[in-house]
Amino acid sequence: MASALTPSRPTTPAPPALAKFHAPEVVFGADSLGEAGFAAIRLGARRPFLVTDPGIIEAGWLSMLLTLLQAEGLTPVLWSDVTPNPKDHEVRRAHELYVERECDVIIALGGGSVIDAAKGVAILSGNGGDIRDYAGVDQVTRPIPPLLMIPTTSGTGADVSQFCIVTDTDRHVKLTIMGRALVPEVSITDPRLLTTMPEDLNAATGLDALTHGIEAFVSLAHNPLADTHALNAVGLVCRNLRTTITEPEEMAARAKMAQASLQAGLAFTNAILGATHAMSHQVGGLLDAPHGVVNGVLLPHVIRYNARASPDRFVDLARSAGLAVDGMPGEEAAELLAEHVRSLADDVGVPHGLGALGVTEADIDTMAHTTLDDACLTTNPREASEGEIRQLFKDAL
């Protein structure tokens, strides 16, 4: 038996919790679009189904991609009838064309709406039924066609994520479909493609990336692998988003925002999100409002709400945003971060309240109720009742 003077044995630290990290093959950098044809061939493409939208066609990126695919002997089938916040009936029509033309690999060239629509087609192609059948977590149980994603915005992270967001037009809500099957095989991020974004879309998607980073870092499902990407994404957005607005041709800032979008996407697909996204989906479903703009309005309010549950995590986030918070209590750091986010939103032209986007007090009860069904709410660090969500909507009105 050890005497009282015998040094005690050091306590062995507990092993880290099991963490899985989902990610596609990532091709990143200027001129990386040139890899698209080779990537499609490697995925087994012969008649790829190419999803895009009219703005991308007008910008000239589709023509460039078609040339690359055709140079590899591929025969792409084009579908471009997707609108912002893709609708269930759009996904159904696209899937009908996919089947009719006997397509294989699915390629998306566009922003989050285009990528979500492409994922919706993949879900139906492998699993049948209606896209509304797959809302929730891991409802996609059968293999889907290979996915090659090429983002043209810097914020949604859909090109690397396990999420697909589709609007249920009967109930006027956004459906969150989530599962490992939806992580694409290949993501190609070419910062050149970001230069043709309209200014309002640039602002919205940048704030979406910021929200992804912040919510992933404080999520109940956060882990060390995702944390690194989340923190770096927050810093990149806070240092570079304004520059892409004021100097749109400045490619260094564009590349940093492309990296922010990518890293934020890797963070949230592995750590999931929180109340900001759960609430934002309801506004978008009800009013077809721009997702990133709604996030920019809601995020400061949700930061303050969540700081009471995980204050110390907000110190790290505030520091990554460039704020001097060393030694500061977590709730104070969170308040500075909330103010910083609001200031950034001001600088890029985002309104102060949801009212400016068309939300009325009469909408709040419905949105608070449907928020409870959103999968993103399950990993919010602080539990939220319907009444608390209702109050958050009122505060943001």
d(CA 257, CA 154): 6
pLDDT surpassing 50 at residue 4: no
Long-range contacts of 10-18 (CB under 8 A, 24+ apart): 16/223, 16/224, 17/223
pLDDT tens-digit series, residues 294-333: 999 999 999 999 999 999 999 999 999 999 999 999 999 9
pLDDT digits (tens, 9 = 90+) for 56-110: 999 999 999 999 999 999 999 999 999 999 999 999 999 999 999 999 999 999 9
Dist. CA 318–CA 296, nearest whole Å: 16
Q: Which residues of 191-209 are buried (b: 16+ CB within 10 A; e: fewer)?
A: bbbbebbeeebbbbbbbbb
The reported pLDDT for the residue numbered 19 is 76
Helix (H, G, I), strand (E, B) or coil at 26: strand
Where do the domains of the chain lie, and which CATH numbers do they carry? 25-193 (3.40.50.1970), 198-396 (1.20.1090.10)
The amino acid present at 368, given as its one-letter code, is A
List the single range of 14-28, 200-214, 220-234 with lowest mean pLDDT.
14-28
pLDDT at 20: 80
Closest CA to 265 of 189, 173, 341: 189
Strand partners, 164: 177
For 256, other C-beta atoms within 10 Å of its C-beta total 21
Our CA dihedral for 99, 104, 109, 112, rounded to 10 degrees, sits at 70
Q: Convert 375-396 to b/e letters by CB count within 10 Å (16 or more is b).
A: bbbebbbbebeeeebbbbbeeb
Q: Label residue 66 exposed, middle or buried (CB < 10 Å: 0-12, 13-18, 19+).
A: middle
Task: Name the CA radius of gyration of the chain, rounded.
Answer: 21
The gap from C-alpha 172 to its chain's centroid, in whole angstroms, comes to: 20
Nearest to 121 by CA among 26, 32, 27, 49: 49
Write down how long the chain is.
397
Q: Round to whole Å and give the CA distance between 219 and 272.
A: 7
Write down the pLDDT at residue 7. 43
- Structure confidence at residue 189 (pLDDT): 97
Give the model's pLDDT for residue 8: 43
Sign of CA dihedral 140, 142, 145, 150: positive
Q: pLDDT by residue (tens digit) across 267-289? A: 999 999 999 999 999 999 999 98
Query: What φ, ψ does residue 152 adopt, rounded to 5°?
Result: -120, 10
Q: If we measure between CA atoms, which residue out of 238, 250, 254 comes closest to residue 151?
A: 254
Is the Cβ–Cβ distance between 29 and 191 less than 8 Å?
Answer: yes
pLDDT of 186 above 90: yes
